[in-house]
């Protein structure tokens, strides 16, 4: 009997304990404890612009006092295209200044994702112009600006809290109309976006990076905008998207502006920055091989079309019938097929420069190329050609030449050079562009 009482008392005790425990939980949910987020550094006492202004014209400066300022991360090493460096700007949209900080640490995107609001105390760091960009970094005996050791990164960089965790802003890339505008010192380390950009014709059929012995190597890929401005995107040999084929279309390109010494090179974070879904335009500034976009056809004479370093800017296509005297020549530069399908209007433009007396360069278009310029039916086009044959570097714009009667067709554009034993001018041709709407 005593055993039965003991058993009942035990069961009753367990039941009351169970009720007591479950009564602390409402709707079968455990209450999430609050996350405590505290800013490591005190409030900013300066601006990024003021810190950047501390960089001397040459050499570096050691920052010896608390210089605390905020920024927003624009780069990401998640896809391997940034290496041990963080680029950031002063505001998530409409920024006015950008900076770069060197860190001896990988996978920075995990701590400081794109848009992360960060606070930096630059005391103890060096600042200066290093290989084309103003950077912050560690004191290093081997480099003007070294990488901050991984274990010390948190001494200088910390995320800014939004109450429960790291504040991450939605970035709005700075809209720029052309690549030429992006190639400005004031935009270095900022996130920008340029419309109507495509990869140069010579890049088509290639991957984002080259491979040597199966290993990826750092690779520049040429890009051009619809206004004819050209630069490159720089892709790391470790980029996870390196084996992806270059897209053929045109569209918006988002990138972090970068410069290595005097060479501009733009950096994408991932393939999401390349939104090329539109139809390509035709452009050739003759930065690649002549055969990328043209067939050079020699009908008469020993001289032929070639590329020389005299363009606007350099280089350009050149034809000259003079060689130990004037010579009889007929030479064509015939474009590869240009699609005007899907357009409601289209136009051709180019620039020319002439020196010495001779025949005017002629320009034609056809939608039925026979493979031989002599047997093709061409439509002659009226263009403004350089009228000054007394000097070089008098580059003249052709004007916008209508191709509206050829929309929804595949066309070829051709330039015809002729010379005689009496007169052989030198004609230079650059920035040939066919655009459509």
Say how far apart CA 385 and CA 431 lie, in whole Å. 14
Q: How many C-beta atoms surround the C-beta of residue 405 within 10 A?
A: 10
Q: What is the pLDDT of residue 39?
A: 87
Residues whose CB is less than 8 angstroms from the CB of residue 89 and which lie 6 or more positions away in sequence, other chains included: 48, 71, 72, 74, 95, 97, 98, 99, 189, 190, 191
Instruction: Specify whether the CB–CB gap between 45 and 67 falls below 8 A.
Output: yes
The CATH class of the 290-436 domain is mainly beta
Residues whose CB is less than 8 angstroms from the CB of residue 33 and which lie 6 or more positions away in sequence, other chains included: none
Q: What is the DSSP string of 239-251?
A: -TTTTSBPP-SEE
CA 426 to chain CA centroid, nearest Å: 35
Residues of the chain with pLDDT under 70: 1-36
Radius of gyration of the chain (CA): 31
Q: How many C-beta atoms surround the C-beta of residue 192 within 10 A?
A: 22
Say how far apart CA 87 and CA 73 lie, in whole Å. 6
| Bridge partners of residue 223, in order along the sequence | 199, 231
Say how far apart CA 57 and CA 127 lie, in whole Å. 11
- CA distances (Å), 160 to each of 35, 187, 345, 379, in order? 14, 24, 51, 65
Instruction: Specify whether the CB–CB gap between 135 and 100 falls below 8 A.
Output: yes
Residues whose CB is less than 8 angstroms from the CB of residue 133 and which lie 6 or more positions away in sequence, other chains included: 100, 188, 189, 258, 259
Domain with CATH 2.60.120.200 in the chain: 290-436
Which has the closest alpha carbon to 119: 61, 65, 72?
Answer: 72
Q: What is the pLDDT of residue 31?
A: 56
Backbone angles phi, psi at 412, to 5 degrees: -135, 140
Q: What is the pLDDT of residue 7?
A: 42
Q: Considering the domain delimited by 174-280, tell me its CATH architecture.
A: Beta Barrel (2.40)
Instruction: Specify whether the CB–CB gap between 197 and 253 falls below 8 A.
Output: yes
Say how far apart CA 64 and CA 124 lie, in whole Å. 6
Say how far apart CA 145 and CA 59 lie, in whole Å. 10
pTM of the model: 0.84
In the Cβ-directed half-sphere of 168, how many Cα atoms lie within 13 Å?
11
Helix, strand, coil shares of the chain, percent, nearest 5, are 15, 40, 50
Q: What is the pLDDT of residue 251?
A: 97
Looking at the domain that runs over 48-159, which CATH code has it been given? 2.40.50
Domain with CATH 2.40.50 in the chain: 48-159, 174-280
| Bridge partners of residue 380, in order along the sequence | 364
Say how far apart CA 56 and CA 84 lie, in whole Å. 24
Say how far apart CA 188 and CA 131 lie, in whole Å. 12
Q: What is the pLDDT of residue 14?
A: 42
Residues whose CB is less than 8 angstroms from the CB of residue 383 and which lie 6 or more positions away in sequence, other chains included: 350, 363, 398, 399, 401
> 3-16: per-residue pLDDT in tens?
444 444 444 444 44
Which has the closest alpha carbon to 103: 147, 139, 133, 157?
Answer: 147
Q: CA 111, 112, 117, 123 torsion: positive or negative? A: positive
Q: What angle do CA 143, 41, 125 make, to 5 degrees?
A: 15
């Amino acid at each position: 009997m005593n055993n039965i009482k003991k058993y009942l008392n035990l069961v009753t005790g367990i039941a009351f304990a169970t009720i007591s425990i479950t009564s602390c939980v409402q709707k079968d949910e455990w209450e999430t404890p609050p996350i405590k987020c505290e800013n490591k550094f005190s409030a900013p006492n300066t601006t990024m612009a003021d810190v950047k202004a501390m960089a001397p014209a040459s050499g570096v400066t050691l920052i010896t006092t608390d210089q605390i300022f905020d920024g927003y991360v624009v780069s990401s090493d998640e896809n391997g295209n940034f290496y041990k460096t963080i680029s950031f700007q002063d505001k998530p949209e409409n920024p006015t200044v950008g900076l770069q900080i060197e860190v001896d640490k990988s996978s920075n995107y995990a701590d400081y994702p794109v848009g992360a609001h960060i606070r930096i105390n630059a005391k103890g760091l060096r600042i200066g112009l290093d290989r084309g960009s103003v950077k912050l970094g560690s004191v290093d005996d081997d480099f003007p600006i070294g990488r901050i050791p991984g274990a010390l990164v948190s001494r200088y960089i910390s995320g800014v809290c939004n109450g429960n965790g790291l504040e991450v802003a939605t970035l709005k890339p700075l809209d720029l109309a052309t690549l030429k505008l992006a190639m400005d010192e004031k935009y270095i380390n900022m996130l920008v976006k340029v419309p109507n950009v495509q990869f140069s014709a010579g890049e088509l059929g290639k991957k984002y990076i080259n491979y040597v012995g199966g290993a990826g190597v750092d690779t520049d890929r040429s890009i051009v905008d619809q206004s004819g401005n050209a630069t490159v995107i720089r892709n790391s040999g470790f980029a996870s998207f390196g084996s992806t084929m270059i897209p053929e279309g045109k569209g918006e390109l988002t990138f972090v502006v970068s410069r290595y010494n005097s060479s501009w090179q733009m950096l994408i974070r991932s393939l999401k920055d390349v939104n090329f879904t539109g139809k390509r335009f035709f452009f050739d500034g003759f930065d690649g091989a002549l055969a990328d976009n043209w067939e050079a056809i020699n009908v008469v004479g020993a001289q032929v079309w070639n590329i020389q370093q005299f363009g606007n800017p350099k280089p350009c296509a050149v034809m000259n019938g003079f060689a130990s005297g004037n010579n009889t020549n007929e030479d064509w530069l015939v474009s590869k097929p240009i699609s005007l399908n899907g357009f409601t209007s289209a136009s051709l433009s180019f620039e020319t420069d002439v020196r010495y007396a001779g025949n005017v360069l002629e320009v034609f278009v056809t939608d039925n190329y026979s493979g031989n310029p002599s047997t093709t039916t061409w439509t002659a086009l009226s263009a403004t050609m350089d009228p000054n044959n007394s000097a070089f570097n008098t580059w003249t714009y052709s004007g916008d030449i209508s191709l509206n009667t050829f929309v929804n067709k595949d066309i070829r554009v051709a330039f015809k050079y002729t010379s005689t034993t009496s007169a052989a001018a030198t004609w230079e041709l650059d920035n040939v562009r066919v655009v459509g709407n």
